[in-house]
Amino acid sequence: MELKGKTALVTGAAKGLGKRTALQLAEQGCNIVLNYYSSEMEAVEVKRQLEQFGVDVILVQADISTTEGVDKLANQAIASMGGVDILINNAGPFVRERKLFVDYDEQTMVHLLHGNLLSAMLLDHKLLPYMMEKKWGRIIHFGFGHAGEARAWPHRAVYAAAKTGLVSFTKSLAVEVAPYGVTVNLIGPGDIRGNNKELAIADVLHQQDAESPSGRPGTGEDVARVILFLCKEQSSFLTGNVVDVTGGFDPIRANIKGIM
CA dist list (Å): 229 to 19, 102, 170: 17, 41, 18
Return the pLDDT at 217.
Answer: 86
Say which DSSP state 67 is in.
H
Is 15 inside any structural domain? Answer: yes
Model confidence band, residue 182 (pLDDT cutoffs 50, 70, 90): very high
Higher pLDDT pick, 217 / 166 = 166
CA 56 – CA 50 distance, rounded (Å): 8
Is 2 inside any structural domain? Answer: no
Q: Is the pLDDT of residue 95 over 90?
A: no
Is 207 inside any structural domain? Answer: no
Return the pLDDT at 84.
Answer: 98
pLDDT tens readout for residues 192-225? 889 999 999 999 988 888 787 888 889 999 999 9
Contacts of 231 (CB under 8 A, 6+ apart): 3, 8, 25, 86, 138, 140
CATH number of the domain to which 230 belongs: 3.40.50.720
Q: Which stretch of 4-13, 130-139, 205-214 has the lowest confidence by average pLDDT?
A: 205-214
pLDDT tens readout for residues 96-113? 889 999 999 999 999 999
Is 211 inside any structural domain? Answer: no
| pTM attached to this predicted model | 0.93
Backbone angles phi, psi at 87, to 5 degrees: -120, 115
Is 257 inside any structural domain? Answer: no
Return the pLDDT at 252.
Answer: 67
Is 252 inside any structural domain? Answer: no
Is 253 inside any structural domain? Answer: no
Return the pLDDT at 188.
Answer: 95
pLDDT tens readout for residues 45-81? 999 999 999 999 999 999 999 999 999 999 999 999 9
CA 124 – CA 67 distance, rounded (Å): 13
Task: Decide: helix, strand or coil at residue 79.
Answer: helix
Containing domain of residue 75, as a range? Answer: 7-200+219-246
**Rounded percentage of the chain residues whose pLDDT exceeds 70:** 96
Given a contact cutoff of 8 angstroms between Cβ atoms, the answer to whether 59 and 5 are in contact is no
Ramachandran class of 191: left when φ > 0, alpha when ψ lies in -120 to 50, beta otherwise: beta
Tally of domains within the chain: 1
Is 213 inside any structural domain? Answer: no
Return the pLDDT at 116.
Answer: 96
Residue among 74, 36, 29 at smallest CA distance from 50: 29
Return the pLDDT at 255.
Answer: 56
Model confidence band, residue 260 (pLDDT cutoffs 50, 70, 90): very low
Q: Is the pLDDT of residue 20 over 90?
A: yes
CA 57 – CA 26 distance, rounded (Å): 9
pLDDT tens readout for residues 231-259? 999 999 999 999 999 988 886 665 544 45
